[in-house]
Structure 1
Amino acid sequence: MSHDHAGHEMSNMDHGAMDHGSAAMDSGAHDHMGMGMAMYYHFSSMETILFKFWNTKSPIGIVISFIIVVLFCFLHEAIKWTRLSWRKKVADATAAANADQHNDESAPTHGRAISCPMVGDFVLHAAQLFLSYSLMMIFMTFNVWLCAAVVLGEASAHLFFRVMLPGLDRAAGWHSVASASCG
């Protein structure tokens, strides 16, 4: 009888090393001991978040992690709005330069070269991507408290920056959408 399953030889496993009666095999420990992950929404206070060292073992740990995740959301939105602000400034400067160029026909035209603002945007874009995927991974723990932290953190941070930076709100085109849908 062959023990070949999906190309893996089962006969090479040390069956004596497997303790099927151990306490680590119960359903609660199974989800948090690296042997599996809860693929359903749950309210557990025991969670490993992003890194092996960031784990919670009590409700206080979940509350502290909730606050940290909300702060991550504010940092994510701050980066997004900073990039939007820089793009608006570059667009305004480019429009002014184009207006000056039309007035002076002898001005040389240059191709697009890498500049300090482009490098800065590159770095901020990379940080934004890292935070975006990290927040997605936090949500994918399916822990209701952490999912709520991501949703409430992102929504409140977005609202905060829209209120604090209304000029960028219009530059991003959100003003026209809001006025069209809200009357």
Structure 2
Amino acid sequence: MEHHMSNDMDMDMNKRPFMWMWFHTKPQDTVLFSTWNITSAGTMVWACCLVAFAGVLLELIKFTRRVIQKNQPTSKKASYLTRLFSTMHIVQTLLFFFQLGFSYCLMLIFMTFSIWLGLAVVIGLSIGFLIFGGKSD
């Protein structure tokens, strides 16, 4: 009994997303999810804008955490559990959660090896640092 794959199956297997293993400039890529496909220069520009905005947002989250930490009253009289479950500590924890999530997403986007997406990550983080970095007064 012979087993042959139909032409339809061959076509489907050839259409699966390709993962680059080297830096490239091609405007064909999949970013983070199988549904986020870059298929043209136009979609690459939109993706780069979104990625750069995410970088700025990450720096804003880090800035917000610094401001909260600086303005948080320190009460040595409060017990450890009281400080642990204080509103400000919970807000800090939630901000840290989002900071960590954004950081890993940006790392994974950089790991697509797209020069354009990698540049968007660096530019977004740099713009965010320019606006928010080191300013917690």
Which residue of 2 is the match for residue 3 of structure 1? none
- Helix, strand or coil: the match of 1:16? coil
In structure 2, C-alpha distance between the alignment counterparts of 1:54 and 1:140, rounded to whole Å: 15
Which residue of 2 is the match for residue 76 of structure 1? 58
In structure 1, C-alpha distance between the alignment counterparts of 2:12 and 2:21, rounded to whole Å: 18
Residue 162 (structure 1) aligned to one of 130, 133, 136: 133
In structure 1, C-alpha distance between the alignment counterparts of 2:118 and 2:11, rounded to whole Å: 29
How far is 1:110 from its partner? 2.8
Residues 166 and 125 of structure 1: is their aligned pair in 2 closer, same or farther, counting only changes over 3 Å?
closer
Q: Which AA in structure 2 matches 1:75? A: L
Which residue of 2 is the match for residue 64 of structure 1? 46
Residue 119 (structure 1) aligned to one of 86, 90, 95: 90
Tell me the alpha carbon deviations over residues 113-167 of structure 1, each in whole angstroms, 9 at most, x when there is no partner: 210011111111111111000000000000000000001111121111137x363
Q: Which has the higher contact order (CA 8 A, sep 6+)?
A: 2
User: Do the aligned partners of 2:59 and 2:129 also contact (CA within 8 Å) in 1?
Assistant: yes
How far is 1:17 from its partner? 3.2
How many residues in Structure 1 have an aligned counterpart in Structure 2? 131
TM-score for both structures, normalised by structure 2: 0.84
TM-score for both structures, normalised by structure 1: 0.64
Percent identity for Structure 1 against Structure 2: 32
Residues 61 and 39 of structure 1: is their aligned pair in 2 closer, same or farther, counting only changes over 3 Å?
same
Asked whether 1:110 is paired with 2:78, we answer yes
Q: Which AA in structure 2 matches 1:70? A: A
In structure 1, C-alpha distance between the alignment counterparts of 2:22 and 2:48, rounded to whole Å: 19
Residues 123 and 138 of structure 1: is their aligned pair in 2 closer, same or farther, counting only changes over 3 Å?
same
In structure 1, C-alpha distance between the alignment counterparts of 2:32 and 2:13, rounded to whole Å: 23
